[in-house]
C-alpha cells in the first residue's frame, strides 16, 4: 500500500452531533468479528492448535513444529502483503477480497476434519493451519480499514472495542456449544466420541459453518469501490520499494507515526502469540486437560470481551496511547510471573498460577488491539484511511513470524540449557512471547499521544 500523503493527527475543534453509534453497518461489521471467533478461538487458540500440539497424538516435537509453521506463514504473508495491498487499492475490490478470504478461511477450517491423530497427519494439519492464517490475515487487513467508514472520530474507540468485544463473546458462545456438544461428553451429539480425535475434528465443521453464517451480513452488504488510476502497478519488489519510500517520507514528516507503525507491528505480533500459544501452553506446560483448556478459553474470552468493550469507552476518555501502555506493561508483568512461578508459588499450584495470571493477562490483550486500531484511525488523513491501514497491516505482517519463532526458539534454548526434553521446556515459550511484547512496548514509548474524543459526545 502506498502512503503518498502526509498523515496528520485528527484534531477536532468542536463536538460532533449525537448520531447513533451502533448502526446496522456497525452491527454487520461487528458480526464478522463474532464469526471470526471460529478461527481465532477455536482453530488457532483453544481447540485445534492444542489438539495438534499434543505429543501423544502427533509426536514429541509437535508443539515446536507448530511454532515454526505459524512463523513460516507469517513470513509468507509478509512477502505477499505489499503486492496484494497495491492490487486491492488499485482495483478497489476490497469487498471481493473480503468474500474470497473469508470463504477460503471457512473451507480450510472444514478441511481440518481430515487431520486425524498420527505423526504423518501432523504435516497436513500444520499446512492447513498455516494456509488458514494466510487467508484470515489477508481478509483482516480490509476488515480493519472499514472502521473509518462506519464510525466518527468521537466514536471510533467504542466501535473498535465493540468489534473486538463481539469477537471474544462469540468465542465464548462457540466454545460452550462445542464443549457441551462434542468435546466434554463421552458420547456427544450425533454419536460423536473422542476416538481418533473425532470430537475435535467434528468441531472444525461446526466452526466452518459458524464463520459463514455470521460473516454473511458484512459480505453481502459490503460494496467494491471505484478503481484507482493514480497508482502504478507494482510487483513484490516494487511494492516493498514503495513501502520503504513511504516509511522514509513519513519519517521526515512525522516520526511518531513511523514509531507507532514499527512498535505496534512488534507488540501486535506478541498479542497474536499470546492467543496462538496460550492454550497450547496450558495443556503442554501446566497440566490442563482438554476440557480444562476449553473452560479456561471460555473464561479468557469472557474477561477479554468485557474488558475490551469497557476499555473502548476508556479509550475515548483518556486516549489510545495511555490504554496501550497500561495494557502492555501489565501483560509483560503477568507473563514474567507465569514463567518465574511455572512450578507454583505461595501455596498455589502451577495450574492455579496459570489460571490467575493467565486470565489477568487476557484482560489487556483486547484493549491493546482495539486501542491500536483507534489510534491509527485518529491519525489517518481523511480519504487515505485505506492506505495507512494497509501500511499498518504490511508493517505488522513484516514481523508476523517473530512471536512464533521466538516461542519455538525459547523452548529450544531452554531445553538445551537445562538438558531437558522439548515437552518439559515448553514453559520457556512464555519468555519468548513476553520478550516480543517488551520490545514493542519500549519502541512505543516515544510515540506521542493523540487528541481524545470530543467531550459532549462521549456519552452518546
Output the DSSP codes for 246-257. HHHHHHHH-HHH
Residue owning grid cell 514499527: 262
| Alpha carbons 37 and 39: distance in angstroms, whole number | 5
Grid coordinates representing 74 are: 507469517
Residue owning grid cell 514481523: 399
Q: Hey, which bits of 254-334 come out as E strands?
A: none
Residue 459 falls inside a structural domain: no
> If DSSP states are collapsed to H, E and C, what string results for 169-235?
HHHHHHHHHHHHHHHCCCCCHHHCCCHHHHHHHHHHHHHHHHHHHHHHHHHHHCCCCCCCCCCCCCC
96-138 pLDDT, tens digit each: 888 999 999 999 999 999 998 888 888 998 999 999 988 998 8
pLDDT of residue 235: 60
User: What 3-state DSSP class applies to 429?
Assistant: helix
> Is pLDDT above 70 for 322?
yes
Residue 12 falls inside a structural domain: no
Residue 232 falls inside a structural domain: no
In 3-state terms, the chain is what percent helix, strand and coil (to 5)? 75, 0, 25
User: What 3-state DSSP class applies to 352?
Assistant: helix
pLDDT of residue 266: 92
Residue with more model confidence, 399 or 16: 399
211-265 pLDDT, tens digit each: 999 999 999 988 887 776 666 666 666 666 776 777 777 777 777 778 888 899 8
In the chain, the number of structural domains is 1
Instruction: Give the closest residue to 374 by CA, choosing from 161, 157, 140, 159.
Output: 157
pLDDT of residue 230: 65
Report the mean per-residue pLDDT for the chain.
Answer: 80
Confidence of residue 328 (pLDDT cuts 50, 70, 90): very high
pLDDT of residue 41: 81
> Is pLDDT above 70 for 460?
no
**12: Cβ–Cβ under 8 A, 6 or more apart, which residues?**
153, 154, 451, 453, 454
Most confident of 166-170, 202-206, 339-343, 367-371: 202-206
pLDDT of residue 14: 37
59 conformational bin, left if phi > 0, alpha if psi -120 to 50, beta if neither: left
Q: In the chain, pLDDT over 70 holds for what percent of residues?
A: 83
Backbone phi, then psi, for 92, in 5-degree steps?
Answer: 75, 10
Residue 458 falls inside a structural domain: no
Give the burial class of 24: count Cβ atoms within 10 A of its Cβ; 0-12 exposed, 13-18 middle, 19 or more buried.
Answer: exposed
Residue with more model confidence, 114 or 154: 114
| Alpha carbons 152 and 65: distance in angstroms, whole number | 43
Grid coordinates representing 38 are: 471460529
Q: How many CB atoms lie within 10 A of CB 452?
A: 20
Residue 348 falls inside a structural domain: yes
Residue 10 falls inside a structural domain: no
Residue 9 falls inside a structural domain: no
pLDDT of residue 213: 96
pLDDT of residue 112: 95
**22: Cβ–Cβ under 8 A, 6 or more apart, which residues?**
159, 162
42-101 pLDDT, tens digit each: 888 778 888 888 877 787 778 778 878 877 887 787 777 666 666 776 777 778 888 999
Instruction: Give the closest residue to 446 by CA, choosing from 264, 187, 314.
Output: 264
Structural domain including 142 reads 24-225+237-450
Distances (CA, A) of 173 to 149, 183, 282: 28, 14, 21
Query: How many Å from the N-terminal Cα to the C-terminal Cα in the chain?
Result: 34
Residue owning grid cell 468441531: 203
187 conformational bin, left if phi > 0, alpha if psi -120 to 50, beta if neither: beta
Q: Are 374 and 164 in contact (CB under 8 A)?
A: no
| Alpha carbons 458 and 460: distance in angstroms, whole number | 6
Grid coordinates representing 69 are: 509453521
pLDDT of residue 21: 72
pLDDT of residue 383: 53
| Alpha carbons 410 and 428: distance in angstroms, whole number | 6
Task: HSE, CB side, 13 Å, CA atoms: give it for residue 452.
Answer: 15
Residue 341 falls inside a structural domain: yes
| Alpha carbons 137 and 143: distance in angstroms, whole number | 10
> Is pLDDT above 90 for 435?
yes
**What is the average per-residue pLDDT within 196-224?**
92
Give the burial class of 254: count Cβ atoms within 10 A of its Cβ; 0-12 exposed, 13-18 middle, 19 or more buried.
Answer: middle
CATH code for the domain in which residue 182 is found: 1.20.1250.20
> Is pLDDT above 50 for 401?
yes
Most confident of 146-160, 277-291, 304-318, 339-353: 339-353
Amino acid at each position: 500500500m502506498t502512503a503518498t500523503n502526509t498523515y496528520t493527527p485528527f484534531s477536532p475543534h468542536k463536538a460532533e452531533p449525537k448520531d447513533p453509534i451502533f448502526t446496522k453497518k456497525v452491527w454487520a461489521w461487528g458480526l464478522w468479528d463474532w464469526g471470526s471467533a471460529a478461527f481465532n478461538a477455536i482453530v488457532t487458540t483453544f481447540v485445534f492448535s492444542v489438539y495438534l500440539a499434543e505429543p501423544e497424538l502427533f509426536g514429541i516435537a509437535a508443539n515446536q513444529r507448530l511454532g515454526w509453521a505459524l512463523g513460516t506463514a507469517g513470513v509468507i504473508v509478509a512477502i505477499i502483503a505489499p503486492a496484494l495491498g497495491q492490487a486491492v487499492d488499485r482495483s478497489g475490490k476490497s469487498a471481493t477480497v473480503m468474500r474470497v478470504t473469508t470463504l477460503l478461511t471457512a473451507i480450510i477450517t472444514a478441511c481440518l476434519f481430515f487431520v486425524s491423530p498420527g505423526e504423518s497427519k501432523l504435516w497436513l494439519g500444520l499446512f492447513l493451519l498455516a494456509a488458514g492464517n494466510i487467508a484470515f490475515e489477508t481478509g483482516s487487513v480490509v476488515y480493519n480499514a472499514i472502521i473509518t467508514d462506519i464510525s466518527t472520530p468521537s466514536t471510533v474507540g467504542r466501535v473498535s472495542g465493540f468489534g473486538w468485544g463481539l469477537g471474544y463473546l462469540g468465542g465464548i458462545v462457540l466454545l460452550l456449544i462445542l464443549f457441551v456438544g462434542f468435546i466434554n461428553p463421552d458420547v456427544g451429539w450425533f454419536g460423536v466420541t473422542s476416538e481418533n480425535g473425532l470430537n475435535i475434528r467434528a468441531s472444525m465443521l461446526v466452526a466452518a459453518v459458524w464463520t459463514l453464517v455470521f460473516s454473511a451480513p458484512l459480505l453481502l452488504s459490503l460494496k467494491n469501490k471505484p478503481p484507482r488510476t493514480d497508482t502504478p502497478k507494482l510487483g513484490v519488489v516494487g511494492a516493498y520499494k514503495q513501502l520503504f519510500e513511504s516509511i522514509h517520507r513519513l519519517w521526515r514528516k512525522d516520526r511518531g507515526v513511523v514509531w507507532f507503525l514499527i512498535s505496534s507491528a512488534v507488540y501486535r505480533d506478541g498479542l497474536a502469540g499470546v492467543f496462538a500459544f496460550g492454550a497450547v501452553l496450558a495443556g503442554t506446560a501446566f497440566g490442563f486437560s482438554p476440557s480444562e483448556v476449553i473452560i479456561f478459553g471460555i473464561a479468557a474470552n469472557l474477561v477479554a470481551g468485557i474488558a475490551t468493550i469497557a476499555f473502548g469507552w476508556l479509550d475515548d476518555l483518556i486516549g489510545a496511547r495511555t490504554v496501550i501502555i497500561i495494557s502492555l506493561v501489565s501483560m509483560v508483568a503477568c507473563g514474567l510471573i507465569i514463567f518465574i512461578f511455572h512450578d507454583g508459588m505461595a501455596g498455589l499450584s502451577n495450574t492455579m498460577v496459570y489460571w490467575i495470571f493467565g486470565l489477568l493477562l487476557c484482560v489487556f490483550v483486547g484493549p491493546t488491539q482495539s486501542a491500536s486500531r483507534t489510534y491509527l484511525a485518529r491519525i489517518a488523513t481523511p480519504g487515505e484511511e485505506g492506505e495507512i491501514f494497509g501500511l499498518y497491516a504490511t508493517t505488522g505482517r513484516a514481523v508476523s513470524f517473530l512471536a512464533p519463532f521466538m516461542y519455538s526458539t525459547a523452548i529450544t534454548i531452554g531445553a538445551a540449557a537445562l538438558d531437558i526434553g522439548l515437552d518439559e521446556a515448553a514453559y520457556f515459550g512464555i519468555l519468548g512471547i513476553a520478550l516480543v511484547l517488551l520490545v514493542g512496548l519500549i519502541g512505543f514509548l516515544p510515540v506521542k499521544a493523540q487528541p481524545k474524543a470530543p467531550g459532549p459526545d462521549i456519552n452518546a
